[in-house]
Structure 1
């Protein structure tokens, strides 16, 4: 065996032996607590919505209003856009805005279409000038409803 092969073999052996010991050392260092991303915020987010998914798309004066909320198994997602007012919010800021709106909705699975329309128009400050309004809701019991006004 020439010196190049001996050196390569020795280097490979050192790497293999060193790799076998990786992770076997016990660390006594304490783990840091997970960061609390909500610490210091004054947002009171209600967990009592009767729905796990809500989406509204409205066309008003050639502009869009979009509100979307999804309560997933690991996190909540929120989006609120109101192009009339130049608002584009995501995450916690959107959730804060939607929380105010959702607290006015008070929708239930058995709400009539007329009640849903009235509450949607009121909570989102919509008028009859809205050209198109589509709403999708999935209630916590799994029931899905779609509305078009």
Structure 2
């Protein structure tokens, strides 16, 4: 009788242990189940610098003229896919696609503009990046993730 109690206790303990630690869910037999990811609210909207997913804007268009001559053209637009063009006539650089994106990434990460950055600060940061002291025309249009826009069109 004592043997049956011990065997019954071992069997019951084994069943409870297997059911508690086992994997009997609906995805138990799938070898590569995906764990739940935590998604930040801004990542659903397209990302921002704060979430590490994007630059905080969906469109960036920059044109700078010096002495009436076009010297800098930078275009970045992300809709379904990212599209980038970059031209720096001062350094004889003309890039498209991934190569342009590599160059623009350096610019974006250095200037770090947001919707709250004052316009003069945006101009100063970009001029410093390109090592320009002056310009005859400075035009920038940025569409931020939250729908706000930055438009600067300055002619000197």
Q: Quick check: 1:134 aligned with 2:127?
A: no
Distance 1:48 1:63 in 2: 28
SS of structure 2 residue aligned to 1:49 = coil
Using the TM superposition, give the Cα deviation of residue 86 of structure 1 relative to its aligned residue in structure 2, in angstroms. 1.4
Q: Quick check: 1:120 aligned with 2:126?
A: yes
Q: Quick check: 1:59 aligned with 2:68?
A: no
Q: Quick check: 1:95 aligned with 2:117?
A: no
| Aligned-residue CA RMSD (Å) | 1.5
Distance 1:76 1:94 in 2: 11
Which residues in structure 2 correspond to 1:1-149 (within 5 Å)? Answer: 47-61=53-67, 62-72=69-79, 74-128=80-134, 130-149=135-154
SS of structure 1 residue aligned to 2:87 = strand
TM-score by length of 2: 0.61
Which deviations, in whole Å up to 9, do the C-alpha atoms of 1:16-70 show, x marking residues without a partner? Answer: xxxxxxxxxxxxxxxxxxxxxxxxxxxxxx7430111000011124243100001
Any conservation in 1 of the 2:88–2:94 contact (CA below 8 Å)?
yes
Q: Can you give the 5+ residue segments of structure 1 that lack an aligned partner in the other structure?
A: 1-45
Any conservation in 2 of the 1:63–1:84 contact (CA below 8 Å)?
no
SS of structure 2 residue aligned to 1:48 = coil
Q: Can you give the 5+ residue segments of structure 2 that lack an aligned partner in the other structure?
A: 1-51
Q: How many residues align?
A: 102
Name which structure has the greater RCO, CA cutoff 8 Å, separation 6+: 1
Distance 1:113 1:63 in 2: 21
Any conservation in 1 of the 2:63–2:70 contact (CA below 8 Å)?
no
Which deviations, in whole Å up to 9, do the C-alpha atoms of 1:69-90 show, x marking residues without a partner? Answer: 0111x21000000122211100
SS of structure 1 residue aligned to 2:114 = coil
